[in-house]
Amino acid sequence: MYVIGTAGHVDHGKSTLIQALTGIDPDRLREEKERGMTIDLGFAWITLPSGREVSIVDVPGHERFIKNMLAGVGGIDLAMLVVAADESVMPQTREHQAILDLLQVKRGLAVITKSDLVDREMLELVQLEVEEVLAGTSMKGSPVLPVSATTGQGLNELLAAVDAALDATEERRDVGRPRLAVDRVFTMSGFGTVVTGTLIDGTLRLGQEVELLPSGVRGRVRGLQSHRTKLEEAQPGSRVAVNLSGVSPDEIARGEVLTIPGWLRPSKAIDVRLHLLADAAKAIPHNHPVTFFAHTTDTPAKVRLLEQNALEPGEETWAQVVLDDPVPLVRGDHFVIRSADATLGGGIVVDLHARRHRRHYAPTIQRLEVLAQGSPTAQLIQALEAQEPADIATLARKANISEAEGVRLAGEAVTEASVIVLGDRPLAPTSVLYTMVGWSKLSGKALQALAAFHAQYPLRSGMPREELRTRLGFSASNFTPALQHLVNAGTVVESNAVVRLPDHQVAVSDAQRKQMDAFVAALEAQPYAPSAPALDAQLVNLLVDEGRVAKATDGVVFATAAYNEMLSKVQSHLEATGKITVAEVRDMFGTSRKYALSLLEHLDELKVTRRTGDERVLMQR
């Protein structure tokens, strides 16, 4: 599916042309019909001679409604720049074409309307002026076609030219994460809330849970329509009306983005490649206030220039745009910036959720250049460097590519020895990656942490793995494969839930070993009410590491066999009766209240039991 958008000066016949082509009047508001002027967005559709069905978005041409125009052209595949033969190129002709160029609309054609009102010489002059406007823009060399909506002259040739242009236009890709920039919200009797927009980046299906951003409102897709036809599934590139359940029309407005939950987070600061129009009135300085437009949303913002103190007309630079309101964007989105009454420039989003950068700092500029112009694999690695470790699915979202493409690029990076994969499973969206540089830093950090631990606790066999995880700053899910990678590489050794350096050995004297053996023997002699001679705390911890004893509390230690037996019997009792008391544990093992209470408090800490009054109940098996 494709979407065509009009552009051009007010009263140059855009809506009349669409009605002549489609039989649909795109002016839907009473005020528009009374005044004969498009105020807001209008919509129509047509089946081309090839059989291809396309949507058409009609935009207002008056300078007062440029905000509405910007909301309409953000998702188009092909532009029709409309110029009236009896007036030729006008101010909004040039501004609209500049906006199309900033948004990188590469396919289009120019339509000279009202051609029946002028002679041939005038028509040729207008055509030359239009070609001059297109020169140097993304639509350079596009066809310029004279038509008359009144007589029908040239309409068939126009439709054929649209077909030919779309033959050379790539279809919208499907990266599995649909985005629909909402341009209309209304209520339909018997159905409820309906939003419309152009669908990009993925498909929408009936019954699907969706989220509207930045509001965060959630609902479900109750119905889908395109060109008044009901759909089970809407494809990327189509104009879609989405009937939502669980959403009030008062909760949303134009500017929201409808998508699936859990992946898109609105940004407050973005890194961009910024272009200032050559005919801008003057340079813009660092921290210049602007209005930022992307898709159907707009917000006040400030432009932070990263390379220079002022951006001159016609120049490009790296910049950071700080938004007053968060905007749901993805890398590669195009945007426009305006002052109160003029379009200043625009560009492309390179990075999201950007940190504040040092200005005039070469490494920052180099990083942005890789993100913008590097190979897809280099861009993936650059994204990984910013937040490693990261799974492939997260990196694919950040790079705005499909998960399948992310897996393919990760495979290339592994082959190039640029990244490593944690774990030994085949590459998948859930695979966790590290850059080689990042992994080297992590390995060094692990070695330093363990060396410091061994120096502080020479009689401990190693650091508890959970303590190492905390020191390295890992999530619980990523730590296990990361630790396994360190073990496989011979960097560390793991045993009995502790981690040590390969050359670390506990140096215990014969006298200390005799003390330890005597301590364990004393515990085993009175397994349920253990009493043993005092032993250095480091030697007790060593016995724990060796698995010979288990700590209930700092003052109560059991021999491991007795501890396991007591644990098993308490759990069996809980499973049979659902509860247990300190007195019952005391009587079960013929011990004192001190040891029974210590054991139950230990089980509470392990979340095996939970205290309810004077009783404990089983939390888990």
Contact between residue 41 and residue 71 where contact means Cβ atoms under 8 Å apart? yes
Residue 110 pLDDT: 93
Residue 69 pLDDT: 67
53-58 and 2-8 as β-strands: parallel, antiparallel, unpaired? parallel
Query: How many whole angstroms separate alpha carbon 333 and alpha carbon 350?
Result: 8
pTM above 0.85, yes or no: no
Please report how the helices 120-134 and 91-102 are oriented relative to each other, as an axis angle in degrees rounded to 10.
40
Rounded percentage of the chain residues whose pLDDT exceeds 90:
42
pLDDT band at 37 (very low <50, low <70, confident <90, very high): very low
Question: In this predicted model, what pLDDT tens digit does every residue of 148-203 receive, in sequence order?
Answer: 999 999 999 999 999 999 998 888 888 889 999 998 898 887 788 999 999 998 99
Domains of the chain: 2-167 (3.40.50.300), 179-259 (2.40.30.10), 267-364 (2.40.30.10), 375-507 (1.10.10.10), 519-618 (1.10.10.10)
Question: In this predicted model, what pLDDT tens digit does every residue of 192-235 receive, in sequence order?
Answer: 899 999 999 899 999 999 999 999 999 999 999 888 889 999 99
Residue 312 pLDDT: 96
pLDDT band at 33 (very low <50, low <70, confident <90, very high): very low
Q: Is the pLDDT of residue 387 over 90?
A: no
Burial of 573 (0-12, 13-18, 19+ CB in 10 A): middle
Question: In this predicted model, what pLDDT tens digit does every residue of 412-467 receive, in sequence order?
Answer: 888 888 899 987 778 899 899 999 888 988 899 999 999 999 998 888 888 998 99
Query: How many whole angstroms separate alpha carbon 515 and alpha carbon 534?
Result: 9
Pick from 401, 394, 407, 504: nearest CA to 447: 504
Q: Is the pLDDT of residue 31 over 60?
A: no
Query: How many whole angstroms separate alpha carbon 567 and alpha carbon 552?
Result: 11
Which residue type is seen at 108?
G
Look over the chain and give the mean of its residue pLDDT values, rounded to a whole number: 88
Query: How many whole angstroms separate alpha carbon 48 and alpha carbon 543?
Result: 82
pLDDT band at 75 (very low <50, low <70, confident <90, very high): confident
Residue 63 pLDDT: 56
Cβ-Cβ contacts under 8 Å for 413 (sequence gap 6 or more): 377, 380, 381, 419, 433
Q: Is the pLDDT of residue 30 over 90?
A: no
Q: Taking residues 288-303, what's their average pLDDT?
A: 94
Hey, CA dihedral for 18, 23, 28, 31, is it positive or negative? positive
Query: How many whole angstroms separate alpha carbon 475 and alpha carbon 485?
Result: 15
Contact between residue 516 and residue 538 where contact means Cβ atoms under 8 Å apart? no
Q: Taking residues 602-612, what's their average pLDDT?
A: 86
Rounded to a whole number of angstroms, the CA Rg of the chain reads 34
Q: Taking residues 356-376, what's their average pLDDT?
A: 89
Question: In this predicted model, what pLDDT tens digit does every residue of 537-574 receive, in sequence order?
Answer: 888 888 888 888 888 887 888 989 989 999 899 889 98
